[in-house]
Homo-oligomer: A and B are copies of this chain.
Amino acid sequence: MSIISALQQDSDGLTLEWDDGGSTSLPAIWLRDHCQGAECRDPGNGQRLLNITQIPTDTRIKEAVLRDGRLLVDFEPDGHHSEFEAEWLQQHCRDLGRQHDDRSERTKLLWHGDSFADGLPRCNYPAFRDDSVHQRDALRAVRDYGFVLLDAVPCEPGEILRVIENFGYVRETNYGPLFEVRAKIDANNLAYTNLGLGCHLDNPYRDPVPGLQLLHCLASSTDGGESVLQDGFLAASILRDENTEHFEILSRQWINFRFRDAEADLRSRVPFIEVNDRDEIIKVRFNNRSIDVIHLPTAQLAAFYPAYRHWAEILERERLQVEFKLEAGQLMLFDNTRVLHARRAYAATGTRHLQGAYSDLDGLYSRLNRLEQSA
């Protein structure tokens, strides 16, 4: 742990100097706003009790000293006294620009078709369910790679909902709490036929889109029907490398998605590529079947179409794709804001039956955060 070696008071606040080099300048208002005392933070649940509007606009530092590595500050004009622990300062002030964003490409391991020569990220389901270290490692795979395969999931209809209980909550949709993926007559969605499906993400017409998808294989005796996965964050970063302008167009000019059947009429206006405040990729979308009419001013269409085509073309590159056959008892759990999936066409003879369900990333990350902290 680095330690504060010196303190410098200036007109706007303080500059902390670290013993291993470098310094951090903190405005007085930031320090006052982050007081950890019992008047400002609930000691039990850690929630903030102080509202920014209660802090005087002209807040200044009257006096600041270091004592046993702790920072003691007296503020003017409200006369408030704050104490900051060395560990807290180290964790939160060392680099104010390095924010926490568990959705950003920066925190992921991007992959392509050859990345898993030593095997796909996988976990035995009974171990996942019963052992927190196995579960932590599997959830880390979802965070890092965007997916994990679970083996030996009991082939019971509805088991998929019990799998979700390990880390989060079922996100019910118009397809039900879970949905049956098998060939149907008069399917309301092409997913429920034996046709091949290109790489896509599910439900882009939902806002918010379900952040996690699960597909559990109950039977697999047909020829074909192989599963394909693809890292949409890598694909978007390739687009940015190949043509920065195309990347910017797809993050700044949004499009509509839509799904209609007898019961539902779901419509969204969202970007193909979503970035955070530092222009890092945080979500991608693509689903050819459900792109609605493209509404952009005519003047923008000439530039939009090449960008859109480029994005779709990268998503068809086979070297970015991992292909495998999901066998009965296997379940794939993947980040539906990042990992595209596809399915090869399959024969009309034999049985292919998957059950699918959705959940959300926030529940999974919350569970993973707790497992990391208790490790």
Contact = CB atoms under 8 A, between A and B. Distances in A.
B99 A269 contact: yes
B289 A208 contact: no
A134 interface: no
Interface in A286-329: 288-298, 301-302, 305, 308-309, 312-313, 316
Given A171-B171, A211-B208, A269 B48 contact: no
Contacts of A295: 92, 96-100
Nearest to A192: B45
Nearest to A266: B366
Interface in A235-271: 252-254, 256, 260-261, 263-269, 271
A208 to B, nearest CB: 3
A179 interface: no
A37 to B, nearest CB: 15
Contacts of A42: 190
Given A97-B295, A172-B170, A46 B260 contact: yes
B268 A362 contact: yes
Nearest to A174: B366
A349 interface: no
A250 to B, nearest CB: 11
A97 to B, nearest CB: 4
A4 to B, nearest CB: 16
A369 B267 contact: yes
Nearest to A25: B298
Contacts of A261: 45
Contacts of A276: 254, 269
Interface residues of A, number: 93
Nearest to A296: B96
A120 B57 CA distance: 37
A222 interface: no
Contacts of A289: 47-49
A338 B169 CA distance: 24
Given A211-B208, A267-B365, A369-B265, A301 B96 contact: yes
Contacts of A256: 99-100
Closest A-B pairs by Cβ, 10 of them = A208-B208, A265-B369, A99-B295, A169-B172, A97-B297, A101-B269, A47-B289, A254-B277, A25-B298, A92-B293
11 contacts: A24-B298, A27-B298, A46-B260, A52-B308, A52-B312, A97-B297, A99-B296, A174-B366, A207-B361, A253-B277, A267-B365
